[in-house]
Structure 1
Amino acid sequence: MLEAYGKESGMTSQTTNSKTLKIAVVGDVHDQWEVEDGNALKHLGVDLVLFVGDFGNESVEVVRAIASLDIPKAAVMGNHDAWYTATEWGRKKCPYDRSQEDWVQEQLDLLGAAHVGYGKLDIPAFNLTVVGGRPFSWGGPEWRFADICKERYGVTDLDESAARIFAAVKKAAYETIIFVGHNGPSGLGDRPEDPCGKDWHPIGGDFGDPDLAEAISLTLTAGKTVPLVTFGHMHHTLRHTKKVLRKRVFRSPEGTVYLNAAAVPRIVDTDGQKLRNFSIVLMGNGVVSQASSIWVGNDYKVAEEILYEKSRSVVQTA
């Protein structure tokens, strides 16, 4: 845990500039969402909340609570959000009658327009559009959970998937595009500690989504501005070593900040006090000025770790 816990952060005061957009990114939830999380977001004064999926194993009630959050939000679905539907082994362990219920669809219905997987959400107040990557992504160059995308979206391969994501970009009302995916794009490195690096045996390899990478490339080629791409899935804690954390941020030569928000568990209990993790991104005029990982305590004190800061050219190193 960050040693700075207990020191008041100055982040809230930075929102006094009306031109600054304050975005909270919520990493893989895995059933860790409470009323206090919404209260913390309101206290932080965020303008927009992005959810990268894995709310739980088709956890309808968690999604219901998140859908009721009265802050502008966008979300994508992760592989766990179709846990009992997308694979044969999952269906064998399904706790409900799939002939009578569809918990995947219930989640999508609850989120409504906030679900941006293969879609988009225009944010007029800040002249930007949030575009979602492939829903239910498992990650990697081989497409797992392909059947659910074929059945629900008519997408049959990664090329079609990239085209589907880019189609949402072409429908965007604004030139500034923020991408949110469950897994990040390929191209961010092949070391196990890289943002989407494979950290299980055999160790190493780029486990990013090639369709998301292609859609981002097409978007940049089309002349759009892409200040932020955020995602989760690849947890910060590495499986093969406890000596380092995963690299959580990468800035491309084009100026795009790629942010992995998957702090798991995102709620921890330290000496009887719960600490809640959020990633915070500050953005103005289509440029990310700062990206941080924060832990919020019961008293709303914030421990902040700055991962990227444009003014000081600070970028987290592995």
Structure 2
Amino acid sequence: MGTQGNQNQSIKIAVVGDVHNQWETEDGEALHRLAVDLVLFVGDFGNESVDVVEAIASLDLPKAAILGNHDAWYTASEWGRRRCPYNRREEDWVQDQLDLLGETHVGYGKLDFPELNLTVVGSRPFSWGGDTWKNADFYKERYNVTGFHESTSRIVQAASNAAYDTIIFLGHNGPFGLGGRPEDPCGKDWETVGGDFGDPDFAKAIAKTKQLGKTIPLVTFGHMHHHLRHTREVLRTPVVVSPDGTVYLNSASVPRIVDNGSDRLRNFSLVSLQDGVVSQASLVWVGKDYTVVSEEIFYRRCESMVQSAYSQLR
């Protein structure tokens, strides 16, 4: 059994949504100015953008990251390998990213944070989402995983080895079970619109981890952008809360850096943990002078704005 943390601790977490090559020196300074205790990166740094990952790996704040589908863009699929811009016999940009991140990369793993009394556990790295097992040769070669069942087992194994009873799950794509509407956190918003595009192995791993007696205040991810492909009338629902209080946060506000002519703005999701429970989750935009220009509160504990639509994870 893990260690129970300080129940009076207040923790401020920044979640960096899909980067897609939008990372600047100012982002690191902004995170320092926001005075966060932990930074979580949900992946998609770029199309195997080693230089972006190198810059993020050098960030001198407590952090954890997971790599996304774009981070194996030229490696995971036959389609991507045909378009690979480098000599695959001489270079491996996926491995370069993994080496740069080191223990910070928690895909199929975990990272304990003793000063915060919690463990960050990663789901399946490089996920494209959905209920079809994609890129089978890639996962077999890299992780010796051949399907969803083995993938679930790998995630649960990492969670069972956590030093702390409080676990934050970090994924690139979110878990299955958060709704099938296109605007739901992992809803399908392209081609045939609608349907739950969450990861089934992630959902089962969360359920099994709760059965181990772990507390999961937060599950955060990206991949499914807030701006929907099929309509501009609404944005994707960023937060869903389970009946037992776990907050599921989609952080993929893309593009994450915008220039409005008079200011250069960059966004971060901010999550506050109080006594091991999420008290607030929001999206902030930080200006070029490092002040918070705007904040949209997605969730505040005990308010009626909490999303009630939730399909029980199984």
Judge same fold: TM > 0.5, yes or no: yes
Residue 34 (structure 1) aligns with: 24
Residue 97 (structure 2) aligns with: 107
State whether structure 2 residue 22 is matched by structure 1 residue 49: no
**SS of corresponding position for 2:36:** coil
Matched residues in 2 for 1:205 and 1:312: separation? Answer: 28
Residue 283 (structure 2) aligns with: 293
Residue 213 (structure 1) aligns with: 203
Equivalent residue for 1:86, pick from 49, 73, 76: 76
Q: CA deviation at 1:316?
A: 5.6
Q: CA deviation at 1:317?
A: 8.2
Q: Which runs of 5+ in 1 are unaligned?
A: 1-17
Matched residues in 2 for 1:150 and 1:55: separation? Answer: 23
**SS of corresponding position for 1:22:** strand
8 Å Cα contact 1:84-1:93 kept in structure 2: yes
Matched residues in 2 for 1:146 and 1:264: separation? Answer: 28
8 Å Cα contact 1:307-1:316 kept in structure 2: no
Residue 159 (structure 2) aligns with: 169
State, as a whole percentage, how many aligned pairs show the same letter. Answer: 69
Q: TM-score, normalised by structure 2?
A: 0.94
Residue 240 (structure 1) aligns with: 230
Q: CA deviation at 1:147?
A: 2.1
Q: CA deviation at 1:315?
A: 2.1
Letter in 2 for 1:203: V
Equivalent residue for 2:216, pick from 218, 221, 226: 226
Q: TM-score, normalised by structure 1?
A: 0.93
Residue 299 (structure 2) aligns with: 308
Matched residues in 2 for 1:275 and 1:315: separation? Answer: 27
Q: CA deviation at 1:311?
A: 4.4
Residue 138 (structure 1) aligns with: 128
Matched residues in 1 for 2:213 and 2:88: separation? Answer: 45
Residue 88 (structure 2) aligns with: 98
Q: CA deviation at 1:90?
A: 1.0
Equivalent residue for 2:109, pick from 106, 116, 119: 119
Matched residues in 1 for 2:284 and 2:307: separation? Answer: 15
Matched residues in 2 for 1:274 and 1:145: separation? Answer: 38
Matched residues in 2 for 1:147 and 1:72: separation? Answer: 33
8 Å Cα contact 2:241-2:308 kept in structure 1: no
Stretch moving more, 159-168 or 265-274: 265-274
**SS of corresponding position for 2:97:** helix
Matched residues in 2 for 1:89 and 1:214: separation? Answer: 29
1:194-222 per-position Cα deviation (integer Å, ceiling 9, x unaligned): 00000012000000000000000001111
State whether structure 2 residue 10 is matched by structure 1 residue 20: yes
Letter in 2 for 1:54: D
8 Å Cα contact 1:79-1:145 kept in structure 2: no
8 Å Cα contact 2:160-2:212 kept in structure 1: no
**SS of corresponding position for 1:202:** coil
Matched residues in 1 for 2:207 and 2:140: separation? Answer: 24
8 Å Cα contact 2:112-2:162 kept in structure 1: yes
8 Å Cα contact 1:137-1:145 kept in structure 2: no
Residue 5 (structure 2) aligns with: none
Q: Which runs of 5+ in 2 are unaligned?
A: 1-7, 310-314
8 Å Cα contact 1:135-1:149 kept in structure 2: no
RMSD of Structure 2 on Structure 1 (CA): 1.2
